[in-house]
Chain A
Amino acid sequence: MTMQNVGRPTRPEGAVEATGHTSLNGGRGLLQDEALIFELGGWDKTGVDLAPAAQDASDLGDLVRAAPIGLPGLSEPEAMRHYVRLSQKNHAIDLALYPLGSCTMKHNPRLNEKMARLAGFSDLHPLAPQATVQGALALMDRLAHWLKTLTGMPAVALSPKAGAHGELCGLLAIKAAHEAKGQGHRRTVLVPTSAHGTNPATAAFVGYSVVEIAQTEDGRVDTADLAAKLSPDVAAIMVTNPNTCGLFERDILEISRLTHEAGAYFYCDGANFNAIVGRVRPGDLGVDAMHINLHKTFSTPHGGGGPGAGPVVLSEALAAFAPAPWVVSGEDGFKLVEETVGEAAQGFGRMSAFHGQMGMFVRAYAYMVSHGTDGLRQVAEDAVLNANYIKARLSPVMSPAFPDGPCMHEALFDDAWLEGTGVTTLDFAKAMIDEGFHPMTMYFPLVVHGAMLIEPTETEPKHELDRFCEALIALAHAAKAGDAERFKGAPYLAPLRRLDETLAARKPRLTWRPEAKGVSPAPLAAE
């Protein structure tokens, strides 16, 4: 069996059962077998009508491209049909519960899409004169105010473009703060074993060596181990709270006290802020820096893998080191500070070309204003209630990793309950697809064997939670009854059967090549 280093099989195993009836052309009823755009023959076609150019490019001489580029074109009806057919092969939150733990797949309000498309936001150039973008700067300022108020932190850097980019921003601020205090020699970052992969990757990226902190039996940071490892060499700890096991770090105040006593800073991974928004302020927990995934807690769409947005709130100790740009308000209205000079000279630099993910700021702000302080508190409560409800309903048939006490926004199970069934976590997850649900997060966190991390979010109605739980309970009974075939070959009913990831990685084919299909991009016919 081919495995990744976390024990997850990467290619289908054993004989594959045919599903019975098949079509003659490779499709599955209305689900079409759709070719790539490169195979549709549109080498000389365009779906865009443009005015002819009045002047030629003779002034560019030999800088002009001579050879064909190799891009096919589609007329508008062909493009519409191609991408709509492809869309039908995706699962989406709008179709069913999407229980990816740690990813927070919640409803994306369409009002937010509409607001982001107002020309006054969507058609604004980042370098347009500041007098012409006062409303945009005001929105950034209001968003910042909400984020600071909800977290109890005095400053926020809006520019990071995703969670991991926010982690980088936070650690760079920490590094700059240490250097300013003559503590630049600190070289170590402590990270719990249950952390997201981005935490150690970010720390290493910034040049820190990563030391893991042990976890207690009940899934929390081992404070004794933390105390032992905190030394004058430690620059920061990176702790996710609620953590990736879906648990609140009960000793969080002790963790931050120990950290600060050792002269280190407390970076909090805010990926799970959804669970506590409106009820707990990270600033009250002693956090020095925390990124906020606007695409999680504040519901900007995930879009099949981005764009994200990862503003970072900062404590008083780190605020001066925030990167450019930021918004200030004065007598003449709002101003964007774009250079780290003068009063802003301590800023550590710049995270990206412009001011951050404005399109996401508009959506997140619309989401916040819609909920209000009362609605956001309800968000956290319902997210936690839904997760505990799933935990309660599934615990009789599956094994919760941490059975004692409540969980927060996600319920974590291990694979002990599958022992002897011949079914793995992966098999179980793939069988969920046949029941119409996206699998939960699997094999993460790494500290739990065969982990299954289920996050329902607050936007699931009770009847959908029940439908989900009943599907999993039925599957669990099937696994225990010895119906391993249902799982080994799953999914049977998805657009494709299980895919061979080992084959993909062994001889990577990352682009379409004409030779593969015996066709080639022809030079454009003369007009």
Chain B
Amino acid sequence: MRYLPLTPADRAEMLATIGAGSIDDLFADVPQAARKADLFDLPLHAGEMEVERELASLAAMNRPAGAGPFFCGAGAYKHHVPATVDHIIQRSEFLTSYTPYQPEIAQGTLQVLFEFQTQVAALTGLDVANASMYDGSTACAEAVMMAQRVTRRKKAVLSGGLHPHYAATTQTIAHAEGMDIVRQAAAIDAEAAVLDAIDSDTAAVVVQTPNVFGVVTDVTKIAEAAHAAGALLIVVTTEAVSYGLLKSPGEMGADIAVAEGQSIGNGLNFGGPYVGLFACREKLVRQMPGRLCGETLDAEGRRGFVLTLSTREQHIRREKATSNICTNSGLCALAFTIHLSLLGERGLRELAALNHSRARELRDALAAVPGVEVLTPRFFNEFAIRLKGDAAKTVEALLADGVVAGVPFSRLDPAAGMEDVLLVAATETTTTQDIQTFAQALAGRTA
């Protein structure tokens, strides 16, 4: 077996050194009844070629996003990732290293995390960021629980513009921790409704911008209302590229910003692994979940980086930790940081402007299709449209035309009664030809 270096002679020699008669002797502590003597009802080992053949045949059954006109967004976005990014993250020293617990021999990973934290803080307009979370949705749940620790209150208000899967994740996880989660009904322009739900028991108000329908909102007034009631404002973003064009959460008064960072540096990967961004105001840092990397000096006075404030974390605090999290999304954070370093401020602004421009082009084309109503007034790179009829059926029908038209809102929230609403996104990868094909196909199906 190509991954196992020991030879039968090695094994015999090693058993002799150990003083054991056989391998079975080393498993002596396993109760006899639990020892599995036979092989399992599974295939035997396979060569690289055979494995490649099986997986390639499975991959070939799928239609990649890049195979034709493609307009799905709703929390995951098709962007171009420079070849440099994938090359660097496959370097052995990054790919096959562990969490940087020994900082003297992990400065590569640690310096990248410090750069990552600085980039995320800059993007979100907040003071500090952690070394990443699993993804945007779990970062959202963690932010809500952090607000509970900060305010010592139990109620969180989730706007109806929050991605329904983020809301469900937050409900599941934060509710388990004893929080009272008020999830508002889905609505295109949901943000104003949160104002009425804020009271003196509220720990956090969670608002997404651009929201799940693509609506971009200035949350300044919500921040003021939350702060007046002693609550924190958590701003969620599922499309990190939007930071290149829109006012940052920090600028608008957010206390905590969380985001899905997949759009920068990371592929779609059918939903994971992704990278959660998490930033907050400096005064809240000791209640933050997850790993933090900080600057320090070595014994000769040279700058270096270490994991720090670990007394918040589970391996030191055990049941008193701020979170049970033990992993970040290191390699995805590395990809994010490399891509964003390549973009720089100029590139990110250009990329964001291009995304917005493509989405405006898409809006103009779809708005001209009879029977299509554009629901989102101001958007970044995705918006909602209302169709005459069921959106899921339309998506299915358009597949025959080679177009993946978007995400039916009913797939995210079947109970919302919005079967006719379709979420569509455009990015820098969308071409004018893609847009025309979509509009023509849609016109053909709705005629």
A binds B: yes
| A86 with B61: CB separation less than 8 A | no
In-complex Cβ contact of A495 among B67, B105, B131 (8 A): B105
B447 within 8 A of A: no
Contacts of A128 in B (CB 8 A): 63, 65, 72, 404
| B64 with A123: CB separation less than 8 A | yes
| B321 with A197: CB separation less than 8 A | yes
The listed residue with most B CB atoms (<10 A of its CB), out of A67, A150, A391, A497, is A497
In-complex Cβ contact of B42 among A44, A248, A373 (8 A): A373
Contacts of A510 in B (CB 8 A): 114, 117, 121, 128-129, 285, 292-295, 308
Looking across the interface, which residue of chain A has its beta carbon closest to that of B59? Answer: A120
The listed residue with most B CB atoms (<10 A of its CB), out of A46, A139, A388, A499, is A499
| B246 with A438: CB separation less than 8 A | no
Given contacts A124-B64, A349-B171, contact A496 B304 (CB under 8 A): yes
In-complex Cβ contact of A307 among B20, B268, B327, B342 (8 A): B327
Contacts of B348 in A (CB 8 A): 69, 71
- A50–B349 Cα distance when bound, in Å, is 11
A114 to chain B, nearest CB (A): 8
| A60 with B272: CB separation less than 8 A | no
Contacts of A98 in B (CB 8 A): 98
Contacts of A354 in B (CB 8 A): 75-76, 135, 165, 270-272
| B62 with A120: CB separation less than 8 A | yes
| B70 with A125: CB separation less than 8 A | yes
| B14 with A389: CB separation less than 8 A | yes
- A341–B107 Cα distance when bound, in Å, is 48
- A33–B61 Cα distance when bound, in Å, is 48
A284 within 8 A of B: yes
| B11 with A385: CB separation less than 8 A | yes
**Chain A interface main SS type:** loop
Contacts of B283 in A (CB 8 A): none
Looking across the interface, which residue of chain B has its beta carbon closest to that of A78? Answer: B341
In-complex Cβ contact of B356 among A26, A55, A129 (8 A): A55
Contacts of A458 in B (CB 8 A): 4, 6
- A351–B170 Cα distance when bound, in Å, is 8
In-complex Cβ contact of B44 among A285, A374, A444 (8 A): A374
| A69 with B243: CB separation less than 8 A | yes
CB-CB contacts of B300-322 with A at 8 A, as 1s and 0s?
Answer: 10101110111101111111110
Contacts of B323 in A (CB 8 A): 201, 205
Contacts of B296 in A (CB 8 A): 499-501, 503-504
Q: Which residues from 339 to 360 on chain A have a C-beta closer than 8 Å to any C-beta of chain B? A: 339, 341, 348-360
Binds A, one of B173-181, B367-375, B436-444: B173-181
Contacts of B389 in A (CB 8 A): none
Binds A, one of B46-54, B187-195, B198-206, B222-230: B46-54
Given contacts A123-B65, A338-B411, contact A73 B40 (CB under 8 A): no
Contacts of B155 in A (CB 8 A): none
Contacts of A12 in B (CB 8 A): 298-299
Contacts of A132 in B (CB 8 A): 62-63, 399, 404
Contacts of A524 in B (CB 8 A): 345-346, 349
B17 within 8 A of A: yes
A498 within 8 A of B: yes
B216 within 8 A of A: yes
Given contacts A121-B269, A375-B45, contact A76 B84 (CB under 8 A): yes
In-complex Cβ contact of B344 among A42, A280, A375 (8 A): A42
| B122 with A71: CB separation less than 8 A | yes
A279 within 8 A of B: yes
| B306 with A92: CB separation less than 8 A | no
A224 within 8 A of B: no
Q: Which residues from 16 to 63 on chain B have a C-beta closer than 8 Å to any C-beta of chain A? A: 17-20, 23, 25-31, 33-36, 39-46, 48, 50-52, 54-63
In-complex Cβ contact of A306 among B29, B316, B327, B404 (8 A): B327
A45 within 8 A of B: yes
| B5 with A135: CB separation less than 8 A | no
- A498–B298 Cα distance when bound, in Å, is 5
| A72 with B308: CB separation less than 8 A | no
In-complex Cβ contact of B5 among A93, A203, A459 (8 A): A459
B171 to chain A, nearest CB (A): 6
A336 to chain B, nearest CB (A): 10
Contacts of A486 in B (CB 8 A): none
Q: Which residues from 96 to 117 on chain B have a C-beta closer than 8 Å to any C-beta of chain A? A: 96-109, 111-112, 114-115, 117
| B52 with A115: CB separation less than 8 A | yes
| A388 with B26: CB separation less than 8 A | yes
- A161–B29 Cα distance when bound, in Å, is 32
In-complex Cβ contact of A121 among B2, B92, B175, B270 (8 A): B270
| A73 with B341: CB separation less than 8 A | yes
| B304 with A499: CB separation less than 8 A | yes
| A60 with B245: CB separation less than 8 A | yes
A175 within 8 A of B: yes
In-complex Cβ contact of B123 among A33, A57, A69, A379 (8 A): A69
B277 within 8 A of A: no
- A109–B42 Cα distance when bound, in Å, is 21
Given contacts A46-B347, A206-B177, A405-B28, contact A200 B118 (CB under 8 A): no
Looking across the interface, which residue of chain A has its beta carbon closest to that of B351? Answer: A50
A416 within 8 A of B: no
In-complex Cβ contact of A76 among B28, B131, B251, B342 (8 A): B342
A430 within 8 A of B: yes
| A83 with B338: CB separation less than 8 A | yes
B387 within 8 A of A: no
A163 to chain B, nearest CB (A): 7
Looking across the interface, which residue of chain A has its beta carbon closest to that of B292? Answer: A510
B282 to chain A, nearest CB (A): 9
CB-CB contacts of A12-52 with B at 8 A, as 1s and 0s?
Answer: 10001010000000100000011011100011111110111
| B168 with A350: CB separation less than 8 A | yes
| B273 with A357: CB separation less than 8 A | yes
Given contacts A90-B108, A305-B100, A505-B309, contact A353 B64 (CB under 8 A): no
A126 to chain B, nearest CB (A): 3
Given contacts A73-B345, A113-B90, contact A323 B324 (CB under 8 A): no
B172 within 8 A of A: yes
| A508 with B306: CB separation less than 8 A | no
B169 within 8 A of A: yes
Binds B, one of A164-172, A225-233, A476-484: A164-172
B139 to chain A, nearest CB (A): 10
Would you list the 6 A-B pairs with minimal beta carbon distance, nearest first? Answer: A73-B344, A120-B59, A354-B271, A303-B331, A135-B61, A349-B172
Given A44-B346, A510-B294; 7 other pairs, CB 8 A cutoff: A45-B346, A79-B84, A113-B95, A118-B55, A198-B314, A207-B178, A253-B34
Q: Report 24 cross-chain contacts, Cβ distance below 8 Å, ordered by A residue.
A: A47-B84, A66-B247, A69-B348, A72-B344, A86-B108, A87-B91, A121-B269, A128-B72, A129-B396, A135-B59, A150-B42, A161-B138, A161-B272, A168-B176, A250-B29, A303-B97, A305-B330, A372-B44, A462-B14, A499-B103, A500-B298, A500-B299, A503-B296, A510-B295
